[in-house]
Amino acid sequence: SATELRLSHQWSNNDIRHKVAQMVADEVAAADVDLNIKIFGSKSLFKPREQYKPLSRGQLDMTVLPLSYAGGQQPAYNLTLMPGLVKNHDHAARLSASPFMEALEEKMAEDDVMVLVHGYLAGGFAGKDKCITAPEDVQGLQTRAAGKSFEQMLAGAGASIASMASSEIYNAMQTGVLQAANTSSSSFVSYRIYEQVSCYTPAGDVALWFMYQPLLINKTTFEGLSAEQQAALRTASEKAQAYYLEEAKKEDAASAKVFADAGVEIAQMTAEDFDAWRELAKETSYKQFVAEVPDGQQLLDLALSVE
Amino acid sequence: MAGHTSAAAARTGNNPFLRFVAALSTLAGWCSAAMIVASVAITCQMIVIRFVLNGSTIWQTEAVIYLMIAATLVGLPYVQRLRGHVNVDLVPLSLPRRARFILAVITSLLSITIIAIMLWYGFEYWHFAMERGWRSDTVWGVRLWIPYLSIPVGFGLLLLQLVADFIALMIGADRPFGLEDA
Amino acid sequence: MDPLLLGGIVAVLTILVLFSGVSVAIGLLIVSAGFLIVFDGPRSLELMPEILFGKLDNFALLSIPMFIIMGASIASTRAGADLYEALERWLTRIPGGLVVSNLGACALFAAMSGSSPATCAAIGKMGIPEMRKRGYPDGVAAGSIAAGGTLGILIPPSVTMIVYGIATETSIGRLFLAGVIPGLLLVGLFMGWSLYSTWRSGDAARLGSGSYTWAERFEILPRVLPFLAIIIGVLYAMYGGIATPSETAAVGALLCLVIAVVIYKLWNPRDLWVVLRDSTKESVMILFIIAAAGVFSYMLSSLFITQSIAEWIGTLEVNRWVLMGAVNVFLLIAGFFLPPVAVILMAAPILLPIITTAGFDPIWFAVVLTINMEIGLISPPVGLNLYVINGIAPDISLRTILLGSLPFVACMILAIVLLCLFPGLATWLPNLVMGGAI
Ligand code: NA
Ligand code: NA
């Protein structure tokens, strides 16, 4: 009978990352190679941060997740959510095809994991009382950042870091426990943060917050498939990757529109702001990353060398 | 209607092994309570840092989560000893003595088996995390084998208490399901 | 195998295993392991400790032991007796005033404790002997406290609401607010029934015969102040921007411990240990069920049972109120046998998509579900409050307690009906305080 692969993710059915997974599943089914992909969405199987471990041990076949979630297992992955490393979506696409990504894929191979679909999503800042564009804007604000490197950078800018689940941002903003937050465009919309903030700084021509969120498969599982099945998966993934890039670009503008429609002020980060943040990041998160990861400097240089 | 609040702790008789396990479980209960108290203190400290001093709170949430997990797992043997894990004892209550005893033997053995499985794979998971040097993906970056240690320790102690309960049942030191004879 | 048929088999086997007298949490692990071995292969057992740990890896769970400590520390002092006495002095002229005082004390205590057994114990220790002494029938005395105690999980804070909030990712602050008006409604219904039954029994004159001077009435009021301080302190921390609901629980626990030690002189280490021991025991019991139910729901999801049931119900063309009725009957039956947290964790992932596709508000549904769970707390065979009453007054037979709480069960069913007719009872307050629904 047909081989069945189990894919787990945390997103809802109308999320772009679910659509990418669904597209691969549909294409593979259409290829008629006795291969089925069964999708377990909306964290119905594993919690978001608990997908990588079973994936690397072959207990789960596939997943779509922010790779930085597994930064505790492979510290190098922290480079996939590093402030200022990616400038925009086209730059992100070039990174995905660079020697930097090859180096990361080597790390993944150590964990018996490989990439099928590359993709980056962007995010921005939201402020309860004011706009956040430059580093000095977060001084003294209780801030919730998505990701370790962002926490380090924001702390360097004088923000106070409050760690909480993204699902708690809404209430924390409402009661005033939190004054600023930084997360992905889609999370800002799905948690209706626009009801609680006065200003939103979406990803635009430049954006600080880019997160690598690939579709992964267990390597041994993949190698155990027949040649036709592997080819079908590859073809489907290629198609999905193109779609992912297109949709990722639309996402930022869509989130800005939702916020604007809700009467929230929209601010833009200028190139100077971006450079200021990046300088700060070099002194904080980059520095700490290099100190923590043995081949960190080499990986960082590889990433920075991508034009 | 026994089984929860009304039932007394598991009986040990004068058996030294049973008393040793009971003491161990009680010690585990103290540790569990201490960890809960520590969580209260840390959470309040976090609120003071954030609300009064407007400072950063990096490690507190994570520390509290791991303390709560450890309090739960390490507290298991103690609660087992106090017969604090709720059960549905409708059927055992309605059974005659002999049948009730047999049912108690079966459920004890099943419980021992499943907890042994949890201990086995829990130990393996803990060991894997230590070997691979896994850390949590936060600024604090806790070495995960430390919180994971509560899995083998908690289930190991629970297994010991379950075995002791089974022995107590077999040597007649305690009654099936802790129920008084009908 | 068809996932729906498989779901039926899982249900039957789960019931069989749980009825064997094995602990609920361990029973759930046994069933999960069995089905995982058969349908996902033995290797899936490797995942069980990992999933169990993951289910506990949630900051919001902190509030469970914290809200239990709040109740337990205050319950171990004479605070409960003070509260009860104060109400009694003021309500004594009313025929049946003692039952009304007890119910009022339960409701107030429920505003500090997240758990029902704790509420039941705190007020019952004083209330039951007092009522019996004054000539109330055993059934009324035991039944009213058993039922009044169930308010612990409806009036915020509430352990079951926290668990529901975690399982369904709804705002805990919002859920807490949703319980307030239905809680008051239930208190009103309970009191109404008590007054009516006292009046009808013809003993009204005799039962209302206490007498206190106004001086005595005012003299006791300061002793209620610690209660107000705690309730206001917790509310202020939660809704005033100091802390998230889960963090607030720790503030409440600390506040209650401090008040117990400073005002009520609970400084004997042995007494403090009893508070901690009881809280630890109840918390660990609940948290283990939560963890095991998490493994169970992983199994249901992995076997595609959860998803198939939701899909199947979606295709049914039934009236949404027929659906709601069926859901209520299901919850009621589940509540007879299982403690609230186990029901919520196993049922919420399956029921929630059904409820929301049928157009019901998840916050409103939490309240309906909680009242169903309250009924379960005072019904055999697993009725936690019954155990508590049994501990306080061992000489009252189970039958008497049950018959005494039956009218209160009727009140709860009436409350569910009222909530269905007027959903605003649950949704109005959270929407008012926290803005439109999310
Ligand atoms: Na309560
Ligand atoms: Na029940």
pLDDT band at C207; cut points 50, 70, 90: low
In whole angstroms, what is the distance from residue C378 CA to residue C283 CA? 20
DSSP code, position A34: S
Instruction: Classify the complex by whether its ipTM is higher than 0.95, answering yes or no.
Output: no
Nearest-Cα distance to chain B for A218, in Å, is 18
* CB B94, CB C25: distance < 8 Å: no
List the single range of B54-68, C201-215, C374-388 with lowest mean pLDDT.
C201-215
Q: What is the pLDDT of residue C223?
A: 83
* CB A152, CB A133: distance < 8 Å: no
Q: State the chains in contact with A (3 or more Cβ–Cβ pairs under 8 Å).
A: B, C
Peptide bond into B96 cis (omega under 30): no
- A158 lies within 8 A of chain B by CB: no
In whole angstroms, what is the distance from residue A251 CA to residue A244 CA? 10
pLDDT digits (tens, 9 = 90+) for C240-265: 888 887 888 899 999 998 988 888 88
Q: Which residues are within 8 A (CB) of C315 and not within 5 positions of it... i.e. 6 or more apart? A: none
Residue in B63, B73, B85 with CA at minimum distance from that of residue B3:
B85
Query: What part of B 23-62 touches C (C-beta under 8 Å)?
Result: 29, 32-33, 36-37, 39-41, 43-44, 46-47, 51, 61
Q: What is the pLDDT of residue C89?
A: 84
Q: What is the pLDDT of residue C204?
A: 60
In whole angstroms, what is the distance from residue C22 CA to residue A121 CA? 49
pLDDT band at B181; cut points 50, 70, 90: low
Name the strand (E) or helix (H) holding A113: strand A113-117
Nearest-Cα distance to chain C for A134, in Å, is 26
Residue in A182, A202, A217 with CA at minimum distance from that of residue A81:
A182
- Give how far the C-alpha of residue A45 lies from the chain's centroid of Cα atoms, to the nearest Å: 20
In whole angstroms, what is the distance from residue C372 CA to residue C376 CA? 7
* CB A52, CB A131: distance < 8 Å: no
* CB A4, CB A36: distance < 8 Å: yes
pLDDT digits (tens, 9 = 90+) for C7-47: 999 999 999 999 999 999 999 999 999 999 999 999 999 99
Q: No. of H helices and E strands in chain B?
A: 6, 0
Angle CA(A275)–CA(A277)–CA(A280) in degrees, nearest 5? 110
Q: Tell me the DSSP string of C289-309.
A: HHHHHHHHHHHHHHTTHHHHH
Q: Is pLDDT of A167 > 80?
A: no
- The residue among A80 and C345 whose pLDDT is bigger is A80
Reported as half-sphere exposure (CB side, CA atoms, 13 A), residue B171 has a value of: 14
In whole angstroms, what is the distance from residue B61 CA to residue C301 CA? 29
In whole angstroms, what is the distance from residue C375 CA to residue C328 CA? 11
Q: Which residues are within 8 A (CB) of A291 and not within 5 positions of it... i.e. 6 or more apart? A: none
Q: What is the pLDDT of residue A223?
A: 97
> What average pLDDT score do residues C395-408 get?
88
> What average pLDDT score do residues C178-207 get?
84
The residue count of chain B comes to: 182
Q: Is pLDDT of C209 > 70?
A: no
> What average pLDDT score do residues A16-33 get?
96
In whole angstroms, what is the distance from residue A260 CA to residue A199 CA? 9
DSSP code, position A209: E
Whether A163 sits inside 8 A of B57 (CB atoms) is yes
Structure tokens at C243: 């802390």
List the single range of B126-140, C137-151, C195-209 with lowest mean pLDDT.
C195-209
pTM of the model: 0.92
> What average pLDDT score do residues C102-128 get?
86
Q: Which residues are within 8 A (CB) of A238 and not within 5 positions of it... i.e. 6 or more apart? A: none
Checking DSSP bridges between strand A215-218 and strand A113-117, what pairing results, if any?
antiparallel
Q: Is pLDDT of C201 > 80?
A: no
Whether C436 sits inside 8 A of A195 (CB atoms) is yes
The torsion angles phi and psi of A115, rounded to 5 degrees, stand at -90, 135
Q: Is pLDDT of B5 > 70?
A: no
Q: Is pLDDT of C141 > 70?
A: yes
Q: Delimit the domains of chain C by residue range.
A: 3-434
Q: CB atoms < 10 A from the CB of C12, how many?
A: 10
* CB C358, CB C316: distance < 8 Å: no
Q: What is the pLDDT of residue B175?
A: 87
Please give the biggest Cα pair distance in chain A. Answer: 61
Whether C301 sits inside 8 A of A168 (CB atoms) is no
Q: What's the Cα-to-Cα distance from B94 to each of B99, C19, C27, C34, C400, rounded to whole Å?
A: 10, 11, 20, 27, 20
